[in-house]
Structure formats: C-alpha cells, structure tokens
Amino acid sequence: MLPFGHIAISYLISQIPRLKGKNLNWKEVLFVILCGTLFDVDFFLLEIIGLPGRIHHYLPTHTLLFGIFYFLILYILLRKKLSLSVLKLGALAMVSHLVLDDLDYWFSLLGLEEEITPQIFWFYPFDWRMNVEIEKLFSSFSPQKFSFVSLIKNYITKTPKVFVLEVLFFISAFGVFLRKCLKTLKQKTL
C-alpha cells in the first residue's frame, strides 16, 4: 500500500476515541499517523543509497520484530508525554501498516488479485521465504532510477482491488477529517 493509504488508516485509527466522546489533540493524532507510516522510512533510505525502494518490504526493517523494536523505542521516549491509550493506538497503527502491506498477497492467495509473493514476513527471522525473495530481487537488480509514475502504474494494474481499497480509505479519512473540521468551526461560531 502507498503512504496515502497508511496515513488515511492511521488517521482513522486516531479517531477511534471519538466513538467514546474523547478527542485526541493534534500532537497525539500526528503521533498515531507517524506510527502508521514509520515502516516506510526504509523505502526512502534505499532510494538515497541507490537501491530501488520497491524492495523495502523484503528488509528486516519491515517486519513485526522490528515493529516491536520501533514501538519499544517510542514507548521509552514518550511514555511520560503520551497516555497509554494513545500509545496503544500508535501500536495498532503500526500493525495496520504491516497488515495493509500484505493485503495484496492475501488477496492473491484467494484468487482476487494477480499472484504475487508475500510482502511481509511475519515470522522473521524464522521465515526462509524472505531469503529466497531477497536473492531473487538482487539477482534481477538493475540500477534504474525510481519512477513514481511506474510505481503507481504497476500498483494499479497488479493489485487493483487493493488500490480501490486505498482510495476508499483515503476518501473515508478525508470525510471524517472534514466533518470534524466543520463541527469545530460550527462550535466556534456559536
């Protein structure tokens, strides 16, 4: 899934407390969104060092084990500044990132999308398939420059159902955001 989808889902996760009449402040919302997009930092780091960012799902940094590591660092640094419920929402956003990245693989297993390889190796370092995929990627490596257009085109044609879901998530998040803004504006004018 593209960062837009991860941001949208993370924003929607940050709005869960509203169901109980509680609102997160903007710093807490940003924290949850940061947690939901944290895994994609490796995409940009690969591009900076000259490797194709598209291989970032096959790195250890895009696994549940590293997610736990990331969360522990965030917890240690922010446990006194953020409530436990906000930290839990951040953890949920992190797990949602991995689930959404692997969704196209699960859809392919069900025959709903073109057949693709696993995107997330949940049991890293014990999943032997990750090594096979990394070897395949590096044996076919060509130092082509990153093209966002080709990435989008590939994404839409190979996993159209996941792309549609991502668009729906984005529209939903935008709708929730607009509704919240309009409600806040209305309260300020009264």
pLDDT tens string 110-135: 988 888 888 898 988 888 777 777 77
Residue 143 has pLDDT above 60, yes or no: no
In whole angstroms, give the CA distance from residue 71 to residue 90: 8
Average pLDDT over residues 165-170: 89
Report the alpha-carbon angle 119-97-84, nearest 5. Answer: 145
Average pLDDT over residues 145-159: 61
Residue 144 has pLDDT above 60, yes or no: no
What percentage of the chain has pLDDT greater than the value 90? 45
Q: 150: pLDDT confidence band, cut at 50, 70 and 90?
A: low
Residue 164 has pLDDT above 80, yes or no: yes
Q: 54 or 83, which is more confident?
A: 83
Residue 82 has pLDDT above 90, yes or no: yes
Highest averaged pLDDT of the listed ranges 59-73, 131-145, 147-161: 59-73
Q: 137 or 16, which is more confident?
A: 16
What digits encode the pLDDT tens for the residues 22-35?
A: 999 999 999 999 99
Average pLDDT of the chain? Answer: 85
Residue 149 has pLDDT above 80, yes or no: no
